[in-house]
Structure 1
Amino acid sequence: MSSEIIIRSLSVNDIQPLLDFEIRNRAYLDETSPDKPEEFYTIAGQELRIERVLVSKMHDLGYSYGVFKGKELIGTVDLFQVERGAIQSAWLGYCIDYKYQGCGYATEAVKRMIDFAFYDLRLHRVEASAMPRNEASIRVLEKAGFHREGLSQKNVKIQGEWEDHYLYAVINTDPEI
């Protein structure tokens, strides 16, 4: 894999870079992301985000990573709703700064997170979703080895409208899992 990007756990040191990233990319990300309250775009909102990230990690419920190019935060990649027991799965989310679209960073970050999910967390399945009109996100998922399983109709509210999403998944083929 390319060494152009670094992926590491988010921490309290990332509050200001996260806020800057979210504000800089707000118009772009709002087109395909669930609605967020105004407080999300404040220092207090990002402090709360990091607090939730740390609690989720501590309880093995979720893992949030920053995607960095040099010292610049250019995106995030997350595993959330981690389920153990007979399920052994999680959901994946990701976003990359609009300035870095088409450079392969999202695909690389997703592939690394899948490796983490399968080899470190020992998960069996990772799921993700993408709006049918979000062709770039669909390409990322397919390049990272996901396969389309179906359509979830009107399942996420984005800009006040319930939007359809394709459901994607990738399965860990390691027989030890």
Structure 2
Amino acid sequence: MIAAIIPAHDAAGRVEHAVTSLHRQTRPPERILVMSDGSTDATVDVALQAGAEVLLTVDNRHHRAGALNQALGTVRMEADDLVLLLDPDVQLPPGFLARALTALEDRNVGAVSARAAAAGGVAALIRWRALEDVHRSFGRYCDEGPVTGQMRLALDLEAVGWRLCTPLEAEQDAAPVIPVELLRDARAQPAAA
């Protein structure tokens, strides 16, 4: 099983596109969870309408890392399951998960990510077993300190013995990944005469 987790704070204008890109995968995830971190806009409603499940953070003071830790501590996963961590700004190309699964055929690889510049944000498919190894070693899934994010998690995965796959290029798919901000800017521009 693949469970996608999208941490979101006031992301109503972005989360729908991320969820839709997951539904359009050639190999879609079985679960799509949006972890709303104190959102005061329509993030929850938009996520539900897009077809995601929604979880709410409780007393989170650690932003994205805290929201992910709460989500990962809540979901029930089997040892061979996979977790896709995805920023709400990211629209993955339709073949990303299928290509990431191919990269994970090497049982020593714990995670594969989309190249950040190509994806417009963080997107990483990680073995649940690898995340559990990090949790056992460090007492948390994601570091809530000043050095957080994908780089810290990558270092933690390597520290507990997992190899990381070279980030996948998004442009290998027919439909390129376009960050939501660029789409919004393009729609706002008047058409050329």
TM normalised by structure 1 equals: 0.31
Select the structure with the greater relative contact order (CA < 8 A; seq sep ≥ 6).
Answer: 2
TM normalised by structure 2 equals: 0.29
Q: Which structure: greater strand fraction?
A: 1
